[in-house]
């Protein structure tokens, strides 16, 4: 089976998926990046997705700064005066022209790539002395804890479908434990001042967070059916994601940043 990013930016659900992730994660990412950005800085947003973080960077660095936003499918990105969009595959291509970079950020990207350690080394190499690398991932090592459910069977169904979703990602080459290793990998790559934070919260049926479960199940539907999940089970799972009597913990979001010594 081909390996790599499991979600298609051209899928009908792609816009909703990107918007849902941005709503949940952007406040955390913004708080991590803002202390590292300055007017006139050069930044690279790797796997830029919908572009919300690249736009934040472009605003922060101002007209004298420059931001490169790269993605293997940049169809959701738009260039502006100080924001350049490039088509780029981090697995096979060198860093885009414009470096070295004062700040490089990658969110929910490396965990999907079997070449993640090599890519991380290339991101470190693309940093300017004193520059920062910020890598943010979901830790998918533990099943999402069900907090409330209309029935025990509903809770079991949720866990069954979630296990199948994570199984599909694993089969495509994702490392579900990668988020736990980033801090150590940055240290071994020679970065300094490394720190890591984690974030998780409850997602209640009908919320934007719970909607991500529905969206992911639709995007991965053919692979989930091939893995043995029935269409009726997927329909019940999607209904559960809209049921206000259901709630679960979100994925644990892990944000790690480190600085290249001068």
Does the pLDDT at position 12 exceed 90? no
pLDDT digits (tens, 9 = 90+) for 122-135: 999 999 999 999 99
Which DSSP string corresponds to 121-137?
Answer: HHHHHTEEEEEEEEEEE
| Both tokens assigned to 2 | 């081909």
- Classify residue 1 as exposed, middle or buried by CB count within 10 Å of its CB (0-12, 13-18, 19+): exposed
The pLDDT value recorded for residue 1 is: 41
How many percent of the chain have pLDDT more than 70?
95
> Is 0.85 topped by the overall pTM?
yes
Domain boundaries, the chain: 14-259
Band of residue 145 on the pLDDT scale cut at 50, 70, 90: very high
- Domain 14-259: CATH class, spelled out: alpha beta
Residue 48 binned pLDDT confidence (cut-offs 50, 70, 90): very high
């Amino acid at each position: 089976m081909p390996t790599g990013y499991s979600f298609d930016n051209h899928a009908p659900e792609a816009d909703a998926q990107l918007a849902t992730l941005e709503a949940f994660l952007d406040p955390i990412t913004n708080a991590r990046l803002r202390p590292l950005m300055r007017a006139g800085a050069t930044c690279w947003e790797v796997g830029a997705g919908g572009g919300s973080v690249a736009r934040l960077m472009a605003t922060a660095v101002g007209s004298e700064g420059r931001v490169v936003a790269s993605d293997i499918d940049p169809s959701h990105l738009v260039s502006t005066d100080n924001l350049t969009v490039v088509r780029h595959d981090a697995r096979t291509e060198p860093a885009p022209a414009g470096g070295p970079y004062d700040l490089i950020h990658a969110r929910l990207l490396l965990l999907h790539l079997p070449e993640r350690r090599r890519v991380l080394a290339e991101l470190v190499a693309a940093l300017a002395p004193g520059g920062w690398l910020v890598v943010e991932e979901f830790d998918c090592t533990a099943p999402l804890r069900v907090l409330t459910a209309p029935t025990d069977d509903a809770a079991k169904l949720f866990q069954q479908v979630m296990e199948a979703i994570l199984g599909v990602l694993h089969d495509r080459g994702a490392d579900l434990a990668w988020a736990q290793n980033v801090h150590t990998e940055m240290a071994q790559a020679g970065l300094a001042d490394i720190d890591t934070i984690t974030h998780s919260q409850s997602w209640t049926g009908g919320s934007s967070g719970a909607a991500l479960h529905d969206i992911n199940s639709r995007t991965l539907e053919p692979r989930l059916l091939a893995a043995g999940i029935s269409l009726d089970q997927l329909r019940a799972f999607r209904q559960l994601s809209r049921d206000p009597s259901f709630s679960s913990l979100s994925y644990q979001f892990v944000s790690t940043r480190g600085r290249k010594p001068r």
